[in-house]
Amino acid sequence: MSAKVPFTLEINFHASPQLLYQYLSTPSGLSEWFADNVNSRGEDFTFIWDDTEEYAKLIKKKTNERVRYRWITEEEDQDDYYFEFRIQVDEITKDVSLVISDFADEDELEEAKMLWENLVDSLKQVLGAA
């Protein structure tokens, strides 16, 4: 199996870093836009879509700045891959950006980017930031 390739998307947001962080780091926030339902026990998260459950571990967080999750899979190289939300605030303009880092198989890269763009559109609608 070939290695996955990293990619990053940066999206401007009209929302405060504090509000945005709540939607990136809490089960209730994530279930509003990322998955149908999200449960957590400590740093272990369960993401539910229809009849599918995926598991991830919260591996890094800094309040109002970043959250990183690692999918828990059966794959040997699972520790190499994660998805991360980083909130950046321009020091001069105070513009807020969400930077998403993820990995995808090379032949699925465009689909993965499109999926994230659609998810972010949902997040913007939830926040009233569209």
- In sequence order, the 6+-apart residues with CB closer than 8 A to the CB of 67 are 21, 24, 25, 58, 60, 61, 84, 85
- Measure the CA–CA gap between 129 and 122, rounded to whole angstroms: 10
Kindly report, residue by residue over 1-57, the tens digit of the pLDDT: 568 899 999 999 989 999 999 999 999 999 999 999 999 999 999 999 999 999 999
pLDDT at 45: 97
Residue type, 80: D
Domains of the chain (ranges, CATH numbers) = 5-125 (3.30.530.20)
- Measure the CA–CA gap between 100 and 22, rounded to whole angstroms: 15
pTM tops 0.85, yes or no: yes
Kindly report, residue by residue over 69-126, the tens digit of the pLDDT: 999 887 776 677 899 999 999 999 999 999 999 999 999 999 999 999 999 999 999 9
95 φψ region: left (φ > 0), alpha (ψ -120 to 50), beta (else)? beta
pLDDT at 74: 77
pLDDT at 88: 97
The per-residue DSSP string of the chain comes to: -PPPEEEEEEEEESS-HHHHHHHHHSHHHHTTTTSSEEEEETTEEEEEETTEEEEEEEEEEETTTEEEEEEE-S-TTGGG--EEEEEEE-TTT--EEEEEEEEE-GGGHHHHHHHHHHHHHHHHHHHT--
- Measure the CA–CA gap between 86 and 66, rounded to whole angstroms: 4
pLDDT at 81: 86
